[in-house]
Amino acid sequence: MLSWCSQKQHLVVDSTCYAEYIALHESSHKAIFLCQLLDDIGFPCCSSTPIHCDNDAATRLTEDHVFHLQVKHMRVKLHSIREAITFGNIKLLRV
């Protein structure tokens, strides 16, 4: 299954890392929803859903679970991508 979307982000941000992190958050929610939808219609997901990211800073931020002073301004809800990766729902791949 494939999902594609192009839209403006709802938040104004001051760095590409923050913008990519928001995009990862949104795409992880859509990927988890699509996996649950497939499971409900009889096609269970056997492995993690791959999400590709081209920003090294955003990728490192998802992997590092230590609270940094540089990201204390980010909304806590955006860090749900970390839980999705930890639980194995999402697999983050470098482009």
With tokens 């995009």, the residue in question is 23
Q: Is residue 21 part of a domain?
A: yes
Q: Is residue 38 part of a domain?
A: yes
* Residues spanned by the domain of 39: 16-94
Query: What band does 52 get if pLDDT is binned at 50, 70 and 90?
Result: very high
Nearest to 53 by CA among 26, 76, 87: 26
Q: Is residue 64 part of a domain?
A: yes
Q: How many domains does the chain have?
A: 1
Q: Is residue 33 part of a domain?
A: yes
Tens-digit pLDDT profile for residues 74-85: 666 677 888 888
Q: Is residue 10 part of a domain?
A: no
Nearest to 27 by CA among 52, 45, 48, 46: 52
| pTM of the predicted model as reported, rounded to 2 decimal places | 0.78
CA distance linking residue 70 with residue 34, whole number of Å: 33
Tens-digit pLDDT profile for residues 13-37: 778 888 888 888 888 999 999 999 9
